Amino acid sequence: MFPRDFAWGAGTAAYQIEGGWQADSKGPSIWDTFCHEKGKVFGDQNGDVACNSYELWEKDLECIQKLGLTHYRFSLSWSRLLPEGTTRHVNQKGVQYYNKVIDDLLACNVSPMVTLYHFDLPQALQDQGGWKSPSTASLFDSYAKFCFQTFGDRVKLWITINEPYVCAKLGHEDGIHAPGLKEPGTTAYLVGHNMLRAHAMAWQSYDSLYRSRQGGQVSLAINSDWVEPFNTDCNEDIAATERYLAFSLGWFAWPVFVTGDYPEIMRSAIDAQSRKLGHKDSSRLPSFSKDEPSVLGTADFFALNYYTSRKVKPGGGCGRMMCMKSDRDAAEVLDPSWPICGVSWLAVVPDGLRKLLKYIKDTFNNPTVYITENGFSQLGPVEIEDVQRAEFYKDTILKVAEAIQEDGVRVRGYFAWSLLDNFEWADGFSVRFGLFHVDFADEMRSRTVYRSGQEYAKMILKHKLGK
């Protein structure tokens, strides 16, 4: 059903699980700062301790082994390794921690997939302008080279930046993620641009300096919903759907996989809205410089984070104000037949993943694909017997198998989100995605496998046995 060397994984991110927010000389990140301000996160919760994986890594490793994972995706904390964000000051305790994680995984025949950046910019760099500053791309490249040099002899799958869309829009347009900026209509495009530049520099550095001796692969993780027209016979709805895809998936995939530039639909929509609002200056969507290496071709595989699907029609703007929603002019509609799991935005549509995988194959030149995140959330009372989530994983993995066998999509791995219940950004600990429940009221942060974790382990074992 799946390729013999298929990657069966689960994922986490440093800020969401590690805790130890100032242990052993770690520097603060923008999420430390954001969470320590009142009113930013559900219940004013924070990741100061979270799952305490900085001290309880061996417990995480036990969870990984119980599931029988072949791969584990985790992120490095930039400010744990480089407290000031630059290689002038290296925190050896941070290096030792990640060396142990990587070495322990390999000793258990688990391959690491390492994310360099999962939302947690060092605060020292935010103080210098953060992702709005063009120079942050070069600083990221230096950090990436440090990581390739330090860990690349053992790490063969790298993600440079996780979900640049979320970092740009939620962090710099909506202000609901760190660094909490609300600068609609301009800053998100600039941030997304600098993140793409940073990714391209890091990929080029790996390609020229490390690939020949380390033999790894590098990509960036792009999140996207699957979307369809609200009315499939309505031209306006069809056009809105194309715009929605261009402003989400296309924003980052088009430059990397197709043209080296943003989708024309995206640029023309932004520029038309600017003219409408009397904004006569240069385009709010930046252009790539001919003096820098091209972003085109800077991915060795397609890393996809998929959670949900939408129907789309025109609308959803901000009146006379400049904002991404007005530029996009595409309103999201939930199909009432789709069940909702936990958080209101997460409609359960496994078939949407299959359709999105086929779209990626057809649009982006049939790349190798790793599904780097996919999951099902739980709210309210803890249900260890999470039958719905267990069914979700069965249904979803069946759709991935169909995408491989019937649609010819070259899917090479699937990473459930998440290994553990963890700090779910602005939702704090109120939303749970784990295959293992973490008791945050317990000082030892005890981990208990959910029914979904047990079922996922059975699916992995069945594959390993060739059934």
Q: What does the DSSP 8-state code read for residue 43? A: G
Q: How far is CA 76 from CA 57, 105, 108, 410, in A?
A: 14, 15, 20, 28
The reply to whether 373 belongs to the active site is yes
Q: Annotate 66-92 with b (16+ C-beta within 10 A) or e (fewer).
A: ebbbbbbbbbbbbbbbbbebeeeeebe
**What is the C-alpha separation between 242 and 290, in angstroms, rounded?**
28
Q: What are phi and psi of 254, to 5 degrees?
A: -60, -50
Written as six digits, the tokens of 396 are 């979803």
Q: Are 67 and 460 in contact (CB under 8 A)?
A: yes
In sequence order, the β-bridge partners of residue 311 are 228, 333
Q: Strands 331-333 and 309-313: what pairing?
A: antiparallel
Written as six digits, the tokens of 64 are 């990984």
Query: Which of 183, 160, 112, 400 minimizes the C-alpha distance to 295?
Result: 160
Q: Which of 18, 173, 228, 373 is catalytic?
A: 373
Query: Which of 16, 135, 129 minimizes the C-alpha distance to 429?
Result: 16
Question: 406: Cβ–Cβ under 8 A, 6 or more apart, which residues?
Answer: none
Q: Are 151 and 209 in contact (CB under 8 A)?
A: no
Q: Are 145 and 78 in contact (CB under 8 A)?
A: no
Active site residues: 373
